[in-house]
Structure 1
Amino acid sequence: MVDPASGTIVDASPTIPGWAGTDLGALMREVAPGTPVAIHNDVRTWAYGEHHLIFGEKLADERVLYVALGTGAGGAIIDQGQLLRSPRLRAGEIAELMACDFRGIADRAENIASGESLARYYNELHLNPELSGPIGWRERREGDVDLAEVLRRSEAGDELASEIIAGNLRGFGAALAGLAHAADIGAIVFGGGVTGIGPVVTRALRAGLEEWLHATKARVDCYFTSLPHPAPILAAALYAVHHAE
């Protein structure tokens, strides 16, 4: 979580040790004095750039949920071209949504649908098929297979791998459908490494969305982008052009 007004990292995962509490604005002013700077959360800047460079004309009058599904699960909401105002810095955060896994067990969305979590599910249940209850977050262990291997096994006919990928992502899609209904979202744009895997992922996400949106009689357009390598950097640059002091 980033405070764009002060340029401070309010909260952070362990991906960058010691990142939480960093005054990034002060650091940038020290490194590059006099240079205009704008600071925000990584997924927020991607969503802003993705909207204005790709989807803005098509979705100009909509409230759009942008979902980045990769190592973790992140989100942002663009309302009529601007990031949704967020006094508590949480607007668009989807990691804490409750979603059901392929067994029908509820947990936080990031724990069931991120790339790391899909692999962790397989590693845990492959060793212990009778495991019940939520499968909480943990770091990778020696001997764990990664998501690429889980996908390879799914394509080779591994039933557990296929059930996890299809079922967990379907549950995540259903959770997003509920959010879309509650927040009057007109479109959802998916990006990130997991989304870029292809139809095995996009079909499951779309199935969960459509099932629950049909139940609420809501219409939400759905788009997928594979996030080519420079996209987040170009998006951050555009955010800086529009917001730097």
Structure 2
Amino acid sequence: MSSTKPERAAIGVDVGGTKIAFHLGDGTGWSVEERIIPTPVTEGATAILAAIIQECRQIQEAASQQGIEVVAVGVGSAGQIDTERGIVLDANENLPGWQGIPISATISAALGIPVYVDNDVKVLALAESHIGAGRPYDHILYVAVGTGIGGAIVIHNRIWHGAHGSAGEIGYLYTGTGRTLEECAAGPPLAQAYANATGKVSVTLYDVAQYAGDGDETAVRVIEQGAEILGRVLAPVLCLLDPQALIIGGGVPDIGDLWWQPFLDALQMAPLASARNIPVKRAELGTSAGVLGASLMALNRLESQA
């Protein structure tokens, strides 16, 4: 990662249902002007855009005082993204009213610089590919396991979007139970499975992990089953895509060996030996990956259009 202040940089924006994170970066991991604000989700999409614009203007001013030119903005957002028009085609319930909003055009008109938008998991994958766990590889499959499950495919160090922007969305794969992978193996379903089995209410995944650490057999079983389901579904995917590495991010893997071991064991069910031997790496960049990937995405898009 570079420690030298660049002359040109991009603002990375990571839009979530509860908070919006910002940073100014040059695509190497160098970062300054990191900020986090609450997402004004109850006020609607217009308020969210206004909040993003306000923070970006402040970052532009701070950068100018340091002799740094802000050349673009990159926005990572949940949902299926039309990257050419910079709009969300299919949003989730965490950002009501976000679907169809002209994100790129609105922010660009206010700031006077290009603005690019992509799916949040895809920008996470881009960051891990360039400056995180995927650095040694040209082709990776990135999977985020948290409140939801998402994925992204990186080929020759660039995100592969597919024909409609949904390439890599492994959370929609069915598990054989009639439910999708996200409905079975993400954090909230694991917490709900424990609650259903024990009758406890208002249980979080953190609670389940704590109970498991204390020897609660039901908690242990729920975590192991979720990890095994994810591994069983991903095993043939590794055969299909044949990446050089599988990078796993998100909060659920933070549970530790209790989650990782059944997940890795299930991956060994892949029919091909080559798939069974694909390296599996833990994502390295943590909560910074979203903003790092968003600024890197913006710089890459700007360069490709030059």
> Shorter-chain TM-score: what band?
0.7 to 0.9
Matched, 1:146 2:225: no
Distance in 2 (CA, whole Å) between partners of 1:69 and 1:195 is: 7
Correspondence for 1:16: 95
* Contact in 2 for aligned 1:169/1:205 (Cα 8 Å): yes
Query: Which residue of 41, 59, 67 maps to 2:143?
Result: 67
Q: Detail structure 1 runs of 4+ shifted over 4 Å in the superposition.
A: none
Distance in 1 (CA, whole Å) between partners of 2:127 and 2:185 is: 24
* Contact in 2 for aligned 1:196/1:225 (Cα 8 Å): no
1:221 shift after superposition: 1.3
Gaps of 5+ in 2: 1-79
1:194 shift after superposition: 1.2
Query: Which residue of 85, 92, 104 maps to 2:168?
Result: 92
* Contact in 2 for aligned 1:187/1:220 (Cα 8 Å): yes
Matched, 1:161 2:237: no
Counterpart residue identity of residue 189, structure 2: S
Aligned pairs for 1:95-134 (under 5 A) are 95-99=171-175, 105=177, 107-127=179-199
Distance in 2 (CA, whole Å) between partners of 1:227 and 1:81 is: 17
* Contact in 2 for aligned 1:11/1:20 (Cα 8 Å): yes
1:113 shift after superposition: 0.9
1:227 shift after superposition: 4.0
Report the RMSD for the aligned CA atoms in angstroms: 1.8
* Contact in 2 for aligned 1:196/1:226 (Cα 8 Å): no
Distance in 1 (CA, whole Å) between partners of 2:291 and 2:129 is: 14
Correspondence for 1:28: 107
Counterpart residue identity of residue 125, structure 2: A
Correspondence for 2:115: 37
Correspondence for 2:130: 52
Correspondence for 1:186: 244
1:52 shift after superposition: 0.8
Matched, 1:3 2:82: yes
Spell out, residue by residue over 1:1-51, the C-alpha distance to the aligned partner (whole angstroms, 9 max, x if none). Answer: 11111101001110111112221112212331x212221000101101110
Distance in 2 (CA, whole Å) between partners of 1:226 and 1:53 is: 9
Gaps of 5+ in 1: 129-142
Correspondence for 2:272: 216
Alignment length (residue pairs): 222
1:56 shift after superposition: 4.9
* Contact in 1 for aligned 2:145/2:248 (Cα 8 Å): yes
* Contact in 1 for aligned 2:116/2:301 (Cα 8 Å): yes
Counterpart residue identity of residue 240, structure 1: A
Structure-1-length-normalised TM-score: 0.84
Correspondence for 2:159: 83
Counterpart residue identity of residue 115, structure 2: V
1:160 shift after superposition: 1.4
1:200 shift after superposition: 2.0
Give secondary structure in 2 for the equivalent of 1:39: strand
Give secondary structure in 1 for the equivalent of 2:117: coil
Counterpart residue identity of residue 109, structure 2: E
Distance in 1 (CA, whole Å) between partners of 2:128 and 2:152 is: 11
